[in-house]
Structure 1
Amino acid sequence: MKYFEFTFHTNPCTETVNDVLAAVLGEVGFESFVECESGLTAYIQQSLYDETAIKIAITEFPLPDTEITFTYAEAEDKDWNEEWEKNFFQPIIIGDRCVIHSTFHQDVPKAEYDIVINPQMAFGTGHHETTSLIIEELLDSELKDKSLLDMGCGTSILAILARMRGARPCTAIDIDEWCVRNSIENIELNHVDDIAVFQGDASSLTGKGPFDVIIANINRNILLNDMKHYVACMHPGSELYMSGFYVDDITVIREEAEKNGLTYVHYKEKNRWAEVKFVYKA
């Protein structure tokens, strides 16, 4: 899978501006973001690149008095483990229950659930608020012997944690070939079984399920478009956890969910990012 690497220069270059820019870019196909000195480095599959859509997104940027320029080039294939190590990718500790780290980390704190990942690309390490919000949800949920789908799985840390907590069978799906390969590696690293990994989008869900629990940590527009496909793989009582959007987006997410027979349960938030839980009661 070939990628373009974009460097977005923001003025003013603030955490809020870069956070909003990441959300805006996520809606036009960007998948990965790393803050840099002048703004944001972002990655998009070459097949999804749409120059007009990117320029419109910047022109309609919702924060006033913000200047955004960009340059881009083809992203080189890299040893992303080495890149993370050079950039001081630190272990993630969630409460005292879950720690996420790579094989190069030393003196990792002890926790109930210890997850090892080697990210081949900068996706799904657990640092982003949306991932940690769903991790917290999984830690609070009863998962034993429940079938689970991790849609847009990235590194599959969510499916791995769910399996460690007793969910089975688990299915992990991502449109990205890098993520599929990395998921398989991470599953093997953590010595867990009963997780099937597939490459595809929501259309690949046909014939799969029904699932007791579905996780979808993607972005607002994809969630709105694909929610009907998730519901088609659910049964009465199935739970759906969604993230990848801001608190301000909850209203539109909830409206679409209720159109599809889902009942709102609650939401959690962290730094304006949101995670929402629904139950299917049709």
Structure 2
Amino acid sequence: MDFVEVRVQAPRELADILIAELAEVGYDTFEDNDDGFCAYIGEGDFNPDAVAEVMSRYEALGELEFEHRVITRQNWNAEWEKNFEPLVIADKVSVRAPFHEPRPDLQYEIVIMPRMSFGTGHHDTTALMITNQLEIDHQGKRVLDMGCGTGILAIMAVLLGADYVLAVDVEPWTAENAADNAVENNVQNKVEARLGDITALDGEAPFDIILANINRNVLLEDMTAYERYLKPGCPILFSGFYEEDLALIRAAAEKAGFRYESHRIQNDWVSAIFYK
């Protein structure tokens, strides 16, 4: 399947509103850039009239431009291979593609082939989540990675000692990519990639750790479900939202039965740790 990229140029305060609006009409992956953001949706679900209607409601609030293009698997692969640079997180974790040189001087190494998935570690939220993971005891744990993208957080969980990680994402190519990356990192016997949303967890026993790097709206919508699927006294790590949304996330989490522990901020993005 190919997908559509909607590239939006808008001031920051307006971009946040537009991201929320586009999430309501089916967009579930967003990437910030210097001019605004890009939103992604499967080509079969793309409705240009729905996008134009959202944009028309906010044109009076600030300078706003948007355009879209179809991105094929082949074009996406070429793009990430051209731009994907190796990364070091928290001075401990190397994130690289197979064609980069290994970093034996670092404690952990993750090899990622992003293809049509998102989450190479270069986005602030992924780096923040991994940094927070380094503070959590994963040894022998059963972990849930919601919105797994490339599977990078699931792989990190196994490197930190997890016995089993269920990696869930709503996009078919993402679930496939997460499974492929588990093989690339030789952790396929401990990572299960599953296609679906929160309903894909039906029948699952509670987990020892939950990793949820998605977006504000999905986190808020699924907050009570996260509480059901986490063991008492165990941690849940959230990301995918801005610093200004932390109070909203914290209020919803505490209402659901979680206790705030700490958070990190990088370029206005947040990753927060809560406990049940």
> Take 1:266 and 1:220, find their aligned partners in 2: how far apart are those partners?
18
2:146 corresponds to which of 131, 148, 151:
151
> Take 1:61 and 1:110, find their aligned partners in 2: how far apart are those partners?
50
Q: Measured at CA, do residues 35 and 274 of structure 1 come closer, stay the same or move farther in structure 2, by a change above 3 Å?
A: closer
Deviates more, 1:41-50 or 1:110-119: 41-50
> Take 1:117 and 1:184, find their aligned partners in 2: how far apart are those partners?
11
> Take 2:202 and 2:248, find their aligned partners in 1: how far apart are those partners?
25
> Take 2:230 and 2:28, find their aligned partners in 1: how far apart are those partners?
28
> Take 1:206 and 1:240, find their aligned partners in 2: how far apart are those partners?
19
> Take 1:26 and 1:189, find their aligned partners in 2: how far apart are those partners?
34
Counterpart of 2:208 in structure 1 is 212
Counterpart of 1:184 in structure 2 is 179
In the alignment, structure 2 segments of 5+ residues that lack a partner are none
Counterpart of 1:167 in 2: which secondary structure? coil
> Take 1:125 and 1:22, find their aligned partners in 2: how far apart are those partners?
24
Q: Alignment identity in percent?
A: 36
Counterpart of 1:45 in structure 2 is 42
In the alignment, structure 1 segments of 5+ residues that lack a partner are none
- Matched residue type, 1:7: R
> Take 1:18 and 1:106, find their aligned partners in 2: how far apart are those partners?
41
- Matched residue type, 1:157: I
Deviates more, 1:222-231 or 1:21-30: 21-30
Following superposition, the deviation at residue 81 of structure 1 comes to 3.8
Which whole-Å deviations, capped at 9, do the CAs of 1:5-60 have from their partners, x for residues lacking one? Answer: 2233x267xxx579747854763414143748x76543212455455664465456
Counterpart of 1:33 in structure 2 is 31
Tell me the number of residue pairs that the alignment of Structure 1 and Structure 2 aligns: 273
Which whole-Å deviations, capped at 9, do the CAs of 1:188-223 have from their partners, x for residues lacking one? Answer: 000113111100000111111310100000000000
Counterpart of 2:93 in structure 1 is 98
Counterpart of 2:270 in 1: which secondary structure? strand
Counterpart of 2:272 in structure 1 is 276
> Take 1:43 and 1:148, find their aligned partners in 2: how far apart are those partners?
27
Do structure 1's residue 170 and structure 2's residue 168 form an aligned pair? no
- Matched residue type, 1:110: D
> Take 1:217 and 1:76, find their aligned partners in 2: how far apart are those partners?
25
Q: Measured at CA, do residues 244 and 39 of structure 1 come closer, stay the same or move farther in structure 2, by a change above 3 Å?
A: closer
